[in-house]
Amino acid sequence: MTEPNNPAQLDQVHEAEYEIESMPDEVTTTDKSYSQGRLVLRRFLRHRGAMISLTFLILIALLAITSIGFGPIPGWWSKNHVDLYPIQEVGGAPTLTLWPFSIGEHPFGQSTIGKDYFALVMLGTQNSLAIAFTVGIAATIIGTLVGAAAGYFRGLAEAFLMRVTDLFIIIPTLVLAAVLGRMAGNVGGIFALAGMLALVSWTGLARLVRGEVLSLREREFVAAARAVGTSPWRIIVRHILPNALGTIIVNATLLISAAILVETALSYLGFGVRPPNTSLGLLISENQNALSTRPWLFWWPGVFIVAVALCVNFIGDGLRDAFDPRQQMD
């Protein structure tokens, strides 16, 4: 091969070589650096359904909390869920009108004996949300710990998880929840109920976390951490769980929506929230025969359950897409 003496030829060769230099070990060119967390957040914020649902859920929660107040703090709504008010419309029908917009005295109507139904539904929503989120958080913590231990250490923790899982195939979650809910009823208070529900809700998440940990622990970065002498819990907390975060968060939201349905179902059956306190399920249970005569007593609590559960499910879907963009491609 002759040496190129024509300058243009020389340039060509140089250009080609330059291109090759840059190819195999390309230096990053973008200035901005994104952690995986930031990428996930960005994808989540762009998920329209999830963002609408999140806004909606926050609005519902704000409405439920500010209207009748929270605990001893009073809210802006003038009526409460205990007192009896004179019946306004025929049969206590709702005074809410959309056009022209007006709330009226009893926007959601009144119960058969004259209680303000708006206050009752708001209280039920508060209770249902409080229980659902408590269950979601508590069960997520239990499930993550048991699942991580079962996946990483195998042995006893895994055997325990597997047998509990087998147990829940034989005793349905709802049945055990009903028995525990009956017990919690003696203690009283919605947080006792929430605690009991958390005890039966964590297994599904634990199994998923275990599966995730089982595959992560075989990854080479975990082997690298072990080879250096990193302690097991440090590996779990710093190396494995952050990588299982997607599974955990997505399923925590699903746990919350399941908890709403289980709580309302238990209250409906009479093993959940008990009078004089109320919950959306209890309201439906009390008014299920009123569908033909006073439909609002049946519709309002149901609509709120469906709205909350649907929002949480859509948020979970948005999180899933954000954590696992592979499913969105092609």
For other proteins, the binding residues in 144-183 under the rule CB under 8 A are 163, 166-176, 178-180, 182-183
Q: In 10 A of CB 31, how many CB atoms?
A: 5
Taking the complex as a whole, the smallest distance from the CB of residue 25 to other proteins amounts, in Å, to 5
Q: Select 73 or 327, whichever has its Cβ closest to other proteins.
A: 327
Binding to other proteins by CB under 8 A, coded x per residue (else -) over 226-265, reads: xxxxx---x----x--xx-------------x---x--xx
How many binding residues for other proteins (CB under 8 A)? 80
Pick one of 109, 147, 185, 318: the residue that binds other proteins (CB under 8 A).
185
CA distance 252 to 138: 10
Residue in the structure block whose two tokens are 């007192």 = 83
Q: Answer whether 42's CB lies under 8 Å from 79's CB.
A: no
Tell me which residues in 192-221 interact with other proteins (CB under 8 A): 219-221
Taking the complex as a whole, the smallest distance from the CB of residue 100 to other proteins amounts, in Å, to 30
Binding span for other proteins by CB under 8 A among 2-10, 33-41, 69-77, 187-195: 33-41
Task: List, in order, residues 6 or more apart from 57 with CB less than 8 Å away.
Answer: 308, 311, 312, 315
Pick one of 50, 119, 213, 284: the residue that binds other proteins (CB under 8 A).
284
CA distance 160 to 164: 6
Give phi and psi for 41, each to the nearest 5: -60, -45
CA distance 203 to 173: 10
Pick one of 50, 119, 255, 309: the residue that binds other proteins (CB under 8 A).
309
Q: Answer whether 80's CB lies under 8 Å from 136's CB.
A: no
Tell me which residues in 3-22 interact with other proteins (CB under 8 A): 13, 16-17, 19-20
Binding to other proteins by CB under 8 A, coded x per residue (else -) over 263-282, reads: -xx--xxxx---------x-
28 binds other proteins, rule: CB under 8 A: yes
Binding span for other proteins by CB under 8 A among 28-36, 61-69, 73-81, 102-110: 28-36
Q: Closest Cα to residue 106, out of 120, 91, 116, 98?
A: 116
Instruction: Give whole-number Cα distances, 39 to 32, 98, 212, 322, in Å.
Output: 12, 41, 21, 8
Taking the complex as a whole, the smallest distance from the CB of residue 194 to other proteins amounts, in Å, to 17
Give phi and psi for 198, each to the nearest 5: -60, -35
DSSP state string for 67-109:
HH-BTTB--S-S--SSSB----SGGG----BTTTTB--S-TT-
Binding span for other proteins by CB under 8 A among 31-39, 64-72, 106-114, 147-155: 31-39
Binding span for other proteins by CB under 8 A among 73-81, 86-94, 148-156, 304-312: 304-312
Tell me which residues in 79-118 interact with other proteins (CB under 8 A): none
Tell me which residues in 34-73 interact with other proteins (CB under 8 A): 34-37
